[in-house]
Protein backbone atom coordinates (compact mmCIF):
# COMPACT_ATOMS: atom_id res chain seq x y z
CA UNK A 1 0.00 0.00 0.00
CA UNK A 2 1.59 3.30 -1.07
CA UNK A 3 2.80 5.68 1.61
CA UNK A 4 2.08 9.37 0.98
CA UNK A 5 1.69 12.65 2.78
CA UNK A 6 -1.90 13.78 2.36
CA UNK A 7 -2.96 17.38 1.73
CA UNK A 8 -3.24 17.90 5.48
CA UNK A 9 0.41 16.93 5.89
CA UNK A 10 -0.33 13.56 7.51
CA UNK A 11 1.92 10.57 6.90
CA UNK A 12 -0.55 7.95 5.65
CA UNK A 13 -0.94 4.82 3.56
CA UNK A 14 -3.54 4.76 0.79
CA UNK A 15 -5.01 1.89 -1.19
CA UNK A 16 -4.71 4.09 -4.28
CA UNK A 17 -3.10 7.35 -5.38
CA UNK A 18 -3.66 9.66 -8.33
CA UNK A 19 -0.51 8.27 -9.95
CA UNK A 20 -1.64 4.72 -9.28
CA UNK A 21 -5.03 5.33 -10.85
CA UNK A 22 -3.44 6.92 -13.93
CA UNK A 23 -1.27 3.81 -14.29
CA UNK A 24 -4.23 1.39 -14.31
CA UNK A 25 -4.56 1.51 -18.11
CA UNK A 26 -1.09 0.07 -18.52
CA UNK A 27 -1.67 -2.56 -15.84
CA UNK A 28 -4.85 -3.90 -17.40
CA UNK A 29 -6.84 -4.08 -14.16
CA UNK A 30 -9.67 -2.12 -12.58
CA UNK A 31 -10.24 -0.50 -9.21
CA UNK A 32 -13.62 -0.47 -7.44
CA UNK A 33 -15.43 2.58 -6.09
CA UNK A 34 -18.52 2.86 -3.90
CA UNK A 35 -20.35 5.56 -1.96
CA UNK A 36 -19.79 6.17 1.76
CA UNK A 37 -21.18 8.86 4.04
CA UNK A 38 -20.50 7.32 7.44
CA UNK A 39 -17.57 5.82 9.31
CA UNK A 40 -19.28 2.41 9.26
CA UNK A 41 -19.71 2.48 5.48
CA UNK A 42 -16.07 3.53 4.96
CA UNK A 43 -14.82 0.83 7.32
CA UNK A 44 -16.90 -1.78 5.50
CA UNK A 45 -15.51 -0.66 2.15
CA UNK A 46 -11.94 -0.97 3.40
CA UNK A 47 -12.63 -4.38 4.97
CA UNK A 48 -14.07 -5.56 1.64
CA UNK A 49 -10.97 -4.47 -0.29
CA UNK A 50 -12.71 -1.55 -2.04
CA UNK A 51 -10.05 0.98 -3.03
CA UNK A 52 -12.14 4.12 -3.55
CA UNK A 53 -15.17 5.86 -2.04
CA UNK A 54 -17.15 8.98 -2.95
CA UNK A 55 -18.81 11.12 -0.31
CA UNK A 56 -20.20 14.60 0.09
CA UNK A 57 -17.53 17.14 1.01
CA UNK A 58 -19.06 17.66 4.45
CA UNK A 59 -18.83 13.92 5.19
CA UNK A 60 -15.04 13.63 4.72
CA UNK A 61 -14.22 13.71 8.48
CA UNK A 62 -16.78 10.96 9.23
CA UNK A 63 -15.54 8.82 6.35
CA UNK A 64 -11.93 9.22 7.49
CA UNK A 65 -12.93 8.05 10.96
CA UNK A 66 -13.88 4.75 9.35
CA UNK A 67 -10.94 4.34 7.01
CA UNK A 68 -7.53 5.93 6.73
CA UNK A 69 -6.68 3.81 3.69
CA UNK A 70 -9.41 4.22 1.04
CA UNK A 71 -9.01 6.86 -1.68
CA UNK A 72 -11.68 9.44 -0.87
CA UNK A 73 -13.23 11.70 -3.50
CA UNK A 74 -15.26 14.55 -2.06
CA UNK A 75 -18.25 15.65 -4.16
CA UNK A 76 -18.67 19.42 -4.34
CA UNK A 77 -22.43 19.94 -4.31
CA UNK A 78 -24.07 22.70 -6.36
CA UNK A 79 -25.63 24.28 -3.28
CA UNK A 80 -22.56 23.84 -1.07
CA UNK A 81 -20.28 26.06 -3.14
CA UNK A 82 -21.41 28.45 -5.87
CA UNK A 83 -18.87 31.21 -6.42
CA UNK A 84 -15.27 30.50 -7.41
CA UNK A 85 -14.07 31.51 -3.95
CA UNK A 86 -16.60 29.21 -2.27
CA UNK A 87 -15.68 26.31 -4.54
CA UNK A 88 -11.98 26.75 -3.87
CA UNK A 89 -12.56 27.06 -0.12
CA UNK A 90 -14.81 23.98 -0.03
CA UNK A 91 -12.34 21.95 -2.07
CA UNK A 92 -9.38 22.90 0.13
CA UNK A 93 -11.39 22.23 3.28
CA UNK A 94 -12.22 18.74 1.99
CA UNK A 95 -8.68 17.79 1.02
CA UNK A 96 -7.18 19.26 4.20
CA UNK A 97 -9.58 17.04 6.18
CA UNK A 98 -8.50 13.92 4.34
CA UNK A 99 -9.99 13.77 0.85
CA UNK A 100 -7.65 12.70 -1.95
CA UNK A 101 -9.61 14.33 -4.79
CA UNK A 102 -12.75 16.33 -5.48
CA UNK A 103 -15.64 15.55 -7.81
CA UNK A 104 -16.75 18.63 -9.71
CA UNK A 105 -19.70 18.84 -12.10
CA UNK A 106 -19.15 22.49 -12.87
CA UNK A 107 -17.70 24.19 -15.97
CA UNK A 108 -14.25 23.78 -17.45
CA UNK A 109 -12.99 27.06 -15.97
CA UNK A 110 -13.87 25.80 -12.50
CA UNK A 111 -12.00 22.58 -13.17
CA UNK A 112 -9.03 24.59 -14.44
CA UNK A 113 -9.07 26.79 -11.33
CA UNK A 114 -8.87 23.75 -9.06
CA UNK A 115 -6.32 21.95 -11.22
CA UNK A 116 -4.08 25.04 -11.26
CA UNK A 117 -3.87 24.65 -7.47
CA UNK A 118 -2.92 20.96 -7.99
CA UNK A 119 -6.17 19.78 -6.47
CA UNK A 120 -6.94 16.41 -8.11
CA UNK A 121 -10.23 16.91 -9.94
CA UNK A 122 -12.67 14.27 -11.16
CA UNK A 123 -15.20 15.56 -13.68
CA UNK A 124 -18.65 14.15 -14.41
CA UNK A 125 -19.86 13.39 -17.95
CA UNK A 126 -22.64 11.44 -19.61
CA UNK A 127 -25.90 11.44 -17.66
CA UNK A 128 -25.52 14.07 -14.93
CA UNK A 129 -28.74 13.82 -12.87
CA UNK A 130 -28.96 17.50 -11.92
CA UNK A 131 -28.47 18.48 -15.56
CA UNK A 132 -30.84 15.89 -17.03
CA UNK A 133 -33.12 18.55 -18.47
CA UNK A 134 -30.50 19.04 -21.20
CA UNK A 135 -30.91 15.45 -22.40
CA UNK A 136 -34.66 15.33 -21.97
CA UNK A 137 -34.93 12.91 -19.07
CA UNK A 138 -33.32 9.92 -17.40
CA UNK A 139 -31.64 8.06 -20.22
CA UNK A 140 -28.39 6.70 -21.60
CA UNK A 141 -26.12 9.22 -23.32
CA UNK A 142 -24.10 8.63 -26.50
CA UNK A 143 -26.38 6.17 -28.34
CA UNK A 144 -26.07 8.13 -31.58
CA UNK A 145 -22.83 8.93 -33.36
CA UNK A 146 -23.55 12.67 -33.10
CA UNK A 147 -24.15 12.57 -29.38
CA UNK A 148 -21.13 10.33 -28.80
CA UNK A 149 -18.92 12.73 -30.77
CA UNK A 150 -20.17 15.64 -28.67
CA UNK A 151 -19.41 13.58 -25.58
CA UNK A 152 -15.90 12.85 -26.89
CA UNK A 153 -15.37 16.60 -27.30
CA UNK A 154 -16.39 17.09 -23.68
CA UNK A 155 -13.88 14.46 -22.58
CA UNK A 156 -11.11 16.28 -24.43
CA UNK A 157 -12.11 19.67 -23.04
CA UNK A 158 -12.26 18.24 -19.50
CA UNK A 159 -8.78 16.78 -19.90
CA UNK A 160 -7.47 20.06 -21.31
CA UNK A 161 -8.90 21.86 -18.27
CA UNK A 162 -6.70 19.71 -16.02
CA UNK A 163 -8.97 16.98 -14.66
CA UNK A 164 -7.22 13.68 -13.95
CA UNK A 165 -10.39 11.55 -13.93
CA UNK A 166 -14.03 11.53 -14.98
CA UNK A 167 -17.14 9.82 -13.67
CA UNK A 168 -18.83 8.36 -16.75
CA UNK A 169 -22.51 7.91 -15.92
CA UNK A 170 -24.88 5.86 -18.09
CA UNK A 171 -22.94 6.29 -21.33
CA UNK A 172 -23.75 3.78 -24.07
CA UNK A 173 -21.17 1.01 -23.60
CA UNK A 174 -19.94 0.86 -27.25
CA UNK A 175 -19.35 4.63 -27.23
CA UNK A 176 -17.63 4.38 -23.85
CA UNK A 177 -15.35 1.63 -25.20
CA UNK A 178 -14.22 3.83 -28.09
CA UNK A 179 -13.67 6.85 -25.84
CA UNK A 180 -11.77 4.72 -23.33
CA UNK A 181 -9.24 3.77 -26.01
CA UNK A 182 -8.57 7.42 -26.78
CA UNK A 183 -8.70 9.34 -23.50
CA UNK A 184 -5.92 9.81 -20.97
CA UNK A 185 -8.45 10.53 -18.23
CA UNK A 186 -8.97 7.93 -15.54
CA UNK A 187 -12.45 6.67 -16.41
CA UNK A 188 -14.92 5.71 -13.68
CA UNK A 189 -17.86 3.73 -15.08
CA UNK A 190 -21.24 4.11 -13.43
CA UNK A 191 -23.53 2.16 -15.72
CA UNK A 192 -21.27 2.75 -18.74
CA UNK A 193 -20.05 -0.76 -19.39
CA UNK A 194 -16.88 -2.72 -18.70
CA UNK A 195 -14.37 -0.54 -20.53
CA UNK A 196 -13.10 1.75 -17.79
CA UNK A 197 -10.34 2.04 -15.22
CA UNK A 198 -12.71 2.04 -12.25
CA UNK A 199 -16.11 0.41 -11.71
CA UNK A 200 -18.51 2.39 -9.52
CA UNK A 201 -21.78 1.47 -7.81
CA UNK A 202 -23.75 2.94 -4.93
CA UNK A 203 -23.36 1.08 -1.64
CA UNK A 204 -27.13 1.17 -1.12
CA UNK A 205 -27.63 -0.70 -4.41
CA UNK A 206 -24.88 -3.24 -3.75
CA UNK A 207 -26.24 -4.01 -0.29
CA UNK A 208 -29.87 -4.26 -1.38
CA UNK A 209 -31.14 -1.18 0.44
CA UNK A 210 -32.64 0.61 -2.56
CA UNK A 211 -36.36 0.40 -3.19
CA UNK A 212 -35.81 0.39 -6.95
CA UNK A 213 -32.58 -1.03 -8.35
CA UNK A 214 -31.24 0.82 -11.41
CA UNK A 215 -30.70 -1.25 -14.53
CA UNK A 216 -26.94 -0.81 -14.35
CA UNK A 217 -26.70 -1.97 -10.71
CA UNK A 218 -26.72 -5.33 -9.00
CA UNK A 219 -27.58 -6.25 -5.39
CA UNK A 220 -25.33 -8.71 -3.58
CA UNK A 221 -27.08 -8.25 -0.23
CA UNK A 222 -30.56 -7.73 1.25
CA UNK A 223 -30.25 -5.05 3.90
CA UNK A 224 -33.80 -3.92 3.11
CA UNK A 225 -35.07 -7.11 4.75
CA UNK A 226 -32.98 -6.42 7.85
CA UNK A 227 -34.16 -2.80 7.97
CA UNK A 228 -37.77 -4.03 7.81
CA UNK A 229 -37.04 -6.40 10.68
CA UNK A 230 -35.52 -3.56 12.72
CA UNK A 231 -38.56 -1.34 12.07
CA UNK A 232 -40.93 -4.12 13.14
CA UNK A 233 -38.89 -4.86 16.27
CA UNK A 234 -38.88 -1.15 17.14
CA UNK A 235 -42.67 -0.87 16.83
CA UNK A 236 -43.20 -4.06 18.82
CA UNK A 237 -40.92 -2.87 21.61
CA UNK A 238 -42.54 0.57 21.79
CA UNK A 239 -46.01 -0.99 21.77
CA UNK A 240 -45.09 -3.29 24.65
CA UNK A 241 -43.68 -0.34 26.59
CA UNK A 242 -46.87 1.67 26.09
CA UNK A 243 -48.96 -1.28 27.28
CA UNK A 244 -46.81 -1.70 30.38
CA UNK A 245 -47.30 1.98 31.25
CA UNK A 246 -51.07 1.61 30.80
CA UNK A 247 -51.16 -1.56 32.88
CA UNK A 248 -48.96 -0.02 35.61
CA UNK A 249 -46.51 -2.91 35.25
CA UNK A 250 -43.65 -0.48 34.62
CA UNK A 251 -41.65 0.48 36.57
CA UNK A 252 -41.22 -2.25 39.18
CA UNK A 253 -39.13 -2.21 42.34
CA UNK A 254 -35.77 -3.07 40.81
CA UNK A 255 -36.14 -0.29 38.22
CA UNK A 256 -36.07 2.68 40.61
CA UNK A 257 -34.22 3.78 43.73
CA UNK A 258 -35.64 3.31 47.22
CA UNK A 259 -35.12 5.04 50.60
CA UNK A 260 -34.63 3.49 53.99
CA UNK A 261 -37.67 3.61 56.26
CA UNK A 262 -35.76 5.85 58.67
CA UNK A 263 -34.91 8.41 56.02
CA UNK A 264 -38.44 8.32 54.65
CA UNK A 265 -39.89 9.06 58.12
CA UNK A 266 -37.44 11.94 58.56
CA UNK A 267 -38.56 13.35 55.20
CA UNK A 268 -42.23 13.08 56.09
CA UNK A 269 -41.68 14.76 59.43
CA UNK A 270 -39.81 17.65 57.79
CA UNK A 271 -42.46 18.10 55.12
CA UNK A 272 -45.29 18.13 57.64
CA UNK A 273 -43.82 20.92 59.75
pLDDT over threshold 80, residue 273: no
Q: Over the range 43-71, which residues count as b (16 or more CB within 10 Å of their CB) and which as e?
A: bbbbeeebbbbbbbbbbbebbbebbbbbb
Kindly tell me if the per-residue pLDDT of 80 is higher than 90.
no
**13 membership: H or E segment, kind and range:** strand 11-13
Q: Report, as an integer, the average pLDDT of 71-93.
A: 92
Q: Give the contacts of 210 (CB within 8 A, at least 6 positions apart).
A: 202, 204, 217, 219, 224
Q: How far apart are CA 208 and CA 166, in angstroms?
A: 26
Does the pLDDT value for residue 25 go beyond 90? no
Could you give the residue numbers annotated as active site? 169
Q: How many other CB atoms are found less than 10 A from the CB of residue 152?
A: 17
Q: d(Cα 167, Cα 70) in Å, to the nearest integer?
A: 18
DSSP letter for 132, please: G
- Range list of H helices, the chain: 18-22, 24-27, 39-47, 60-66, 84-96, 108-116, 145-161, 173-182, 203-206, 223-246, 261-272
116-171, pLDDT tens digit by residue? 999 999 999 998 878 888 888 888 899 999 999 999 999 999 999 999 999 999 99
Residue-range domains of the chain with CATH: 3-221 (3.20.20.60), 226-272 (no CATH)
Residue-wise pLDDT for 219-236, tens only, equals 999 999 999 999 999 999
Smallest CA-to-CA distance from 70 within 117, 2, 7, 10 is with 2
Element (H, E) at 52: strand 52-56
pLDDT of residue 127: 85
pLDDT range class, residue 34, cuts 50, 70, 90: very high
pTM equals 0.90
- The pLDDT, as a whole number, for residue 26 is 79
pLDDT over 90 at 98, yes or no: yes
Per-residue pLDDT averaged across 32-47, rounded? 98
**DSSP of 53-84:** EEEEGGGHHHHHHH-SSSEEEEE--TTT--SH
In degrees, to the nearest 5, what angle opens at C-alpha 62 toward C-alphas 169 and 209?
A: 50
Amino acid sequence: MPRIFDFGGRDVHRSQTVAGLKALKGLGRQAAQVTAETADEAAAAEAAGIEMVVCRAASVPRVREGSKAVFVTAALGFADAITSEEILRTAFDAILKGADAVLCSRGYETVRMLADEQVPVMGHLGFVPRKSTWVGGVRSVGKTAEEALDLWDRFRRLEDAGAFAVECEIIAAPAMAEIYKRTNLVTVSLGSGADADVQFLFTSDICGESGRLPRHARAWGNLARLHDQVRKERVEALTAYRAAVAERTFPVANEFSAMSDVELERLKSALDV
